[in-house]
Structure 1
Amino acid sequence: MIDQEILGVPTSDRARGIGRLGSKVKGATVFLIGGLFVLLFLGVSSGSGQIANKLDGYNVLLITIDTLRADRLGVYGYDGVQTPNIDRLAIEGIRFEQVTTTVPVTLPAHASIMTGLQPFEHGVRSNGAFMLRDDVKTLAEQFVAAGYVTGAFIGTVVLDAQFGIAQGFEQFDGLAPYQRITGDMRGERPGESVVDEAGMWIRSQSTPFFAWVHMYDPHDPYDAPEPFGSRYANSPYDGEVAYVDAMVGRLRQVLEESGAADNTLIVLTSDHGEGLGDHGEQTHSFFIYDSTVRVPLIFWAPGEVPGGIVAMNRVGVIDIFPTVLTMAGLPIPSNSGVDLSRHFSDQEWFGRAIYSESLIPYLDFGWSELRALIDGNYKYIAAPEPELYDLEADPGETKNLANTDTELAAMMHGALQQFVVSDDVSMVEGGTVDAEIVASLQALGYLSGRGGGRDRRDIDPKSMIETHETLVRGLRESITAIEQKRFADVDKIFAQLDELIPDEHIIYYVESKTERFDGMLEEPEAGLLALRLYFGQLALKAGDIATSVDFFEQALERNSSYLPAYGELANALYAAGDLTGAQDLIVEALGISPGNFSLTLLSGVFHHDSGKLDEALKAYYAAERIEPNHPELLERLAHLYLLLQQPRQAVDVLRRLSQAMPDAAAVWAQLAFALAQIGETNESQQAITRALDIDPNDVTVRQVARLLR
């Protein structure tokens, strides 16, 4: 550990009295704790708040490493894995020791990082079923408004643009191009793919940029590439950490080679940690112990950020938003974070109380939600069986003091309840997932249910962790079995899970002895919406349209706002020849979620394939305003322009597509054909040559090559 300078040592002798003063400071509740005034959840209002030496002309590179425990990095005291690149950033910059995420779930945590808001303020409470609102200001929006070039490079479908996290990014590279080229539909891509795309983009910039690079690799399943897989065969999670560290090194090399290293601020953090068996939790999202909510936070900027500092203040990921904007000298929208830059060399600042939550037990099962308040060394978790821990004496959170230090527990409970008094979880409801990524979310271990509409918040998640872990394993095994067409095994798995949690809403049967759906499926007795949808998709792929329509309609009967069912049912109706019914469903769904990209695109596809080209063009234009560089949209739009005999517009679109998919032979072939239509013979020949170099056996490439001879 590097201890050259300690910022703000928390008081170790906690007072036992918390007297509420009843006043507010910028949205913060003021408490008197042991004679000290403590600001709880201090918010930053609009204003300058600028440091003296703001980073004029600096680039900003935000690196978020998914599922990265702070205590699995060398610089945070762990010797089980080598992380020289992240360690170097910390040694040369400032490292915050005690950093807490708002929620141990990818999408809502990143929403907090990007906005400086608590989950109940920005409205994103889980993955898959929630969307960041358009009216919430993000880091990218602030930077692009100030004239920066903005780009994001994402490693998972969980952070797909449709969830609102792409707001403000002029270029947002998600999984779609990678999936189309590789055929890998697992919902994630390796860090190397992300970093290589980001590196190409960074090298092409000549003006200040804001870049977000997200790597998903430490998320389970742990399968690090070589040599890291073999090197850490006995600790595969550590292998993933070592791998992403190497990718951080590659990013830094890009900055150095492009000449940007001397004027770039790097901020490195994580959205959440990983249970790794602590408290019985193997992965994350269910509990809010430090194993899953404590994350690293490093600021690095040569000559601007003081080096070799370890800040011991209690801070949160929501503080990244105002800190970065202050350092860049940009306006700061209202948020709940604190500008940490003014405390980089402040040894007197003690930090403030930090909030964290998990609504997953309630959203997925109807069990009690979990909320935590961390103040100094003490952490209080509100649950049916409350918990209180002294993190300094008991960092593993194994000795619950709630029943022995009842006065402090009651006072922290009161402070926490006052803060969340307006947040009624029974009113929390999602429903914005697009159908094509549901299976990917499930494969990554996310349920995103709604508790079956039942409020069983008297059930403490602590008492259900073994059940939860068994259930998640069983659902993952069932998905694998379904993909491998082992339907008898699926039936056994669900029977076991039904015994585990009788009548639970996320369990239903797959009957393996019927004639229906190629002798493998029977109508479910009850089920999770997403799994019901999945079986409908299987039926549609098998050509059993009637069965697929039945599944999708059942999903809508259970939840009339469940968007994936609208999209899939519309597909099924269109396949059955009912274009009017399909379009009516799309219109109804867009009324629930205006601006939904996939639904808008699907409307255009229906019109396109049915010959209503003008209507298709209108829909594609609307989709383009939402996600302008989506490969499927660009392919469809280029084809439509050619049908409308507008080859110049087709060329413009295909050029964009070739940049998004530089290794797609068919795209270069289509570009060659369109270029030939407008008389650009030389460029057309260059494009078809590129296509032939990539894949001379591609059917489209061979057809276009013959036409251009």
Structure 2
Amino acid sequence: MCPGKFFFSFRRGWCIAAGLALCLAGCSKPPPPNVLVITIDTLRPDALGLVSANPASATPVLDALAREGTAFTGAVTPVPLTLPAHLSLFSARIPHVHGVHDNGQTVPAEVPLLAETLRRHGYATGAFVSGFPLQSLFGLDRGFAHYDDRMPAGEQGWVERRAEDTVAAAATWLEQNDRAAPWFGWVHFYDPHDPYDPPREFWQPGPRGAYDGEVAYVDYWLGKLIVRARAAGGERPLLIVVTADHGEALGEHAEHTHGFFVYDSTVKVPLLFHWAGQVAPQRSDAPVRLIDVTPTVLDLLGLEPLPGAQGSSLAAGLRGGAIKAGPAVVETWLPWIYYGWSPLLAWRDNGSKYISAPNAELYDLAGDPGESHNLAGRDPVQTDRLALALAAATAAPAGVAAVSDNAEAVQRLRSLGYVGVGAPPAVPSGQLADPKDRIAQREQLRAADGLARAGRQVQAVAAFEAVLAQDADNRFALLRAGTAALQAGDTDKAVAHLGRSVQLEPRRAEARYAYADALMRLERYDEAAEHWAALAELQPRRPEAWFNLATALERGGHAERAAEAMAHYRRLKPAPG
């Protein structure tokens, strides 16, 4: 009896202990997932087979993610430009608040970013970007321990890394991570951006075949990336988020690319969340916002929201609850920054859209998704209601893009005698041209720019000057006429156009660079140094700004100051070996 009782008691104790161990293993908090955020530049929702209902879908990978997770087919970006949209995505703030309205500006150091939070919570962080507007010198790398922005040689501002090369770089990083800790990877594909030139085997039929072919090419390599990411993660779950910074007009509203208007052709983007067992398979046309992505990711991970976040978490909706889409502020300052015309602001709420412009616009998006019937004149009550809502949403003091987030760079510039690039740009006022009324002139400028890109600089200068004869302070024409004249060897003409360009927009880095270059060629070194210093303050991590500043100072007879600037250049870009 005793041995039997002992045996029975032992078995019972073993079972209790084993059951408790199993319970602890099964009931303990699951490991945090790896997080993979994928942004596909210039991606329209209707480029996905899931949205276009194309039976021969060219996007099987994206469509599968959409079927297995939650797919938003009409999310809203706050701005149809690459850098400010990505900053909104990762900061959960609209451009009015974070202050970056254009590519080439610098992310303010005080704006908190998703990568910083995840890194503080033990995530390995890596980013792989494929287009010049997202290079680290603009400041979006903050929080990433590894930020791969290597681009092939090419014309500055238009270089891109193809999808297959970006995937190769990202996969190498993923496979080198320690599986004991979770990772957060951001992979950006630039391929669908203009100009469209997919590998021939990916071209699609129809008038937009080249654009759709770029999307198909990205989809193929996205599939390869996801396979590698899952393999690199082992047993750890994987949260995948796929979205875009903006769409592409493709001729709608007489706009061929993006950034000029705020119509839905460039404002609506797809947004996909995929996490097996955690995100419900569902499809929604709710106009959720790009600024909702970071709050949602942090909520899904059980982490605190970013300070100052304006977006809202969609986590409850992803788990099968009600999906709530907040009103959206949309903007583009490109017409003002590039042309001197009116910027555009829009308010999207409850199926209506109001666009604040010299000639206001109001659209019923449910009945008129193409935004072809302006109701502002016929419905003044609704127009005023939405205008007041937009004014309230943008009443807070506007943020300003960083002049420099590098205290050492600022101190060095001050020690060299340079005191800044001027006050932040004032909010435009007065009678400004409505971009709708200048679309024909913009097409003239696009044609002139095409001549310059084709190497026909003399003809390009003449074409730009034809626009300047009608619009003397057109900023785009001044800058491009100046750079084309410089490339054609007409330095005096270049200086005249570029000097006016800098005067009109002192914080335009591209204009500062071109003007300083022209002054160098005329051996006006002291003047050139002022503009290289201004460029270094606008883009403090741009090595060539400091190198050229040192060169101008040395040639101007300021050897000691030149050595100081060159020392800072070497800190940014140390000599090989």
Identify the TM-score tier after normalising by the shorter chain: 0.7 to 0.9
1:228 aligns with 202
1:386 aligns with 360
1:519 aligns with none
TM-score (norm 2): 0.79
Matches within 5 A, 1:81-160: 81-128=57-104, 130-160=105-135
Aligned length in residues: 525
1:196 aligns with 168
Q: 1:163 to 1:296 in 2, by over 3 A?
A: same
Q: 1:554 to 1:528 in 2, by over 3 A?
A: closer
Instruction: Establish whether residue 494 from structure 1 lines up as the match of residue 470 from structure 2.
Output: no
2:421 aligns with none
Q: In the aligned structure 1, how far is the partner of 2:269 from the partner of 2:355?
A: 18
Matches within 5 A, 1:234-249: 235-249=209-223
Shift of residue 598 of structure 1?
Answer: 4.2
Instruction: Establish whether residue 476 from structure 1 lines up as the match of residue 445 from structure 2.
Output: no
Q: In the aligned structure 2, how far is the partner of 1:139 from the partner of 1:74?
A: 30
Structure 1 contact 366–455 (Cα < 8 Å) conserved = no
Q: Could you give the per-residue CA deviations for residues 600-647 of structure 1, whole angstroms, max 9, x where no partner exists?
A: 455678899999998578425642xxxxxxxxx24xx23xxxxxxxxx
Structure 2 contact 549–562 (Cα < 8 Å) conserved = no
Shift of residue 249 of structure 1?
Answer: 0.9
Q: In the aligned structure 1, how far is the partner of 2:226 from the partner of 2:144?
A: 22
Q: In the aligned structure 1, how far is the partner of 2:155 from the partner of 2:101?
A: 30
Alignment equivalent of 2:545, drawn from 599, 604, 617: 599
Q: In the aligned structure 2, how far is the partner of 1:581 from the partner of 1:250?
A: 51
Q: Could you give the per-residue CA deviations for residues 53-82 of structure 1, whole angstroms, max 9, x where no partner exists?
A: 987432111100011111221122442752
Shift of residue 431 of structure 1?
Answer: 7.8
Q: In the aligned structure 2, how far is the partner of 1:61 from the partner of 1:608?
A: 47
Shift of residue 94 of structure 1?
Answer: 1.0
Q: In the aligned structure 2, how far is the partner of 1:561 from the partner of 1:89?
A: 42
Shift of residue 587 of structure 1?
Answer: 5.1
Q: In the aligned structure 2, how far is the partner of 1:583 from the partner of 1:327?
A: 50
Q: In the aligned structure 1, how far is the partner of 2:438 from the partner of 2:235?
A: 49
Alignment equivalent of 2:382, drawn from 392, 399, 408: 408
Shift of residue 528 of structure 1?
Answer: 2.3
Q: 1:457 to 1:345 in 2, by over 3 A?
A: farther
Shift of residue 344 of structure 1?
Answer: 1.8
Q: 1:249 to 1:287 in 2, by over 3 A?
A: same
Alignment equivalent of 2:227, drawn from 235, 243, 253: 253
Structure 1 contact 431–563 (Cα < 8 Å) conserved = no
1:3 aligns with none
Q: 1:581 to 1:232 in 2, by over 3 A?
A: same
Structure 1 contact 81–238 (Cα < 8 Å) conserved = no
Q: Specify the SS of the correspondent of 2:374.
A: coil
Structure 2 contact 457–484 (Cα < 8 Å) conserved = no
2:393 aligns with 419
Q: 1:389 to 1:616 in 2, by over 3 A?
A: closer
Structure 1 contact 367–455 (Cα < 8 Å) conserved = no
CA RMSD, Structure 1 to Structure 2 (Å): 3.8
Shift of residue 475 of structure 1?
Answer: 3.1
Q: Could you give the per-residue CA deviations for residues 378-425 of structure 1, whole angstroms, max 9, x where no partner exists?
A: 22222233322222222222233333333222212211122123467x
Q: In the aligned structure 2, how far is the partner of 1:201 from the partner of 1:159?
A: 19
Matches within 5 A, 1:350-389: 350-389=324-363
Q: 1:457 to 1:262 in 2, by over 3 A?
A: farther
Q: In the aligned structure 2, how far is the partner of 1:371 from the partner of 1:153?
A: 31
Shift of residue 576 of structure 1?
Answer: 8.7
Q: Could you give the per-residue CA deviations for residues 203-238 of structure 1, whole angstroms, max 9, x where no partner exists?
A: 211232211111111111111112012666762211
Alignment equivalent of 1:528, drawn from 465, 472, 478: 478
Alignment equivalent of 2:303, drawn from 307, 330, 333: 330
Q: 1:582 to 1:454 in 2, by over 3 A?
A: closer
Structure 2 contact 482–496 (Cα < 8 Å) conserved = no
Q: Specify the SS of the correspondent of 1:211.
A: strand
Q: Specify the SS of the correspondent of 2:242.
A: strand
Shift of residue 267 of structure 1?
Answer: 0.5
Q: In the aligned structure 2, how far is the partner of 1:430 from the partner of 1:363?
A: 16
Letter in 2 for 1:82: A
Q: In the aligned structure 2, how far is the partner of 1:397 from the partner of 1:552?
A: 38
Q: Could you give the per-residue CA deviations for residues 462-481 of structure 1, whole angstroms, max 9, x where no partner exists?
A: 2322332x134223223124
Q: 1:429 to 1:619 in 2, by over 3 A?
A: closer
1:216 aligns with 190
Shift of residue 373 of structure 1?
Answer: 1.7
Q: Specify the SS of the correspondent of 1:338.
A: coil
TM-score (norm 1): 0.65
Q: In the aligned structure 1, how far is the partner of 2:522 from the partner of 2:397?
A: 44
Structure 2 contact 77–269 (Cα < 8 Å) conserved = yes
Q: 1:608 to 1:404 in 2, by over 3 A?
A: closer
Structure 2: which 5+ residue stretches go unaligned? Answer: 1-26, 405-423
Letter in 1 for 2:103: N
Q: 1:55 to 1:246 in 2, by over 3 A?
A: farther
Q: Could you give the per-residue CA deviations for residues 511-569 of structure 1, whole angstroms, max 9, x where no partner exists?
A: xxxxxxxxxxxxxxxx5236525644664xxxx98888787666655655554565567
2:474 aligns with 505
Letter in 2 for 1:505: N
Q: In the aligned structure 2, how far is the partner of 1:321 from the partner of 1:196?
A: 26
Matches within 5 A, 1:38-57: 56-57=31-32
Q: Specify the SS of the correspondent of 1:227.
A: helix
Which deviates more, 548-557 or 99-108?
548-557
Matches within 5 A, 1:621-660: 622-623=571-572, 633-634=573-574, 637-638=575-576, 650=577
1:682 aligns with none
Q: In the aligned structure 1, how far is the partner of 2:130 from the partner of 2:346?
A: 29
Letter in 1 for 2:478: L
2:292 aligns with 319
Shift of residue 353 of structure 1?
Answer: 1.4
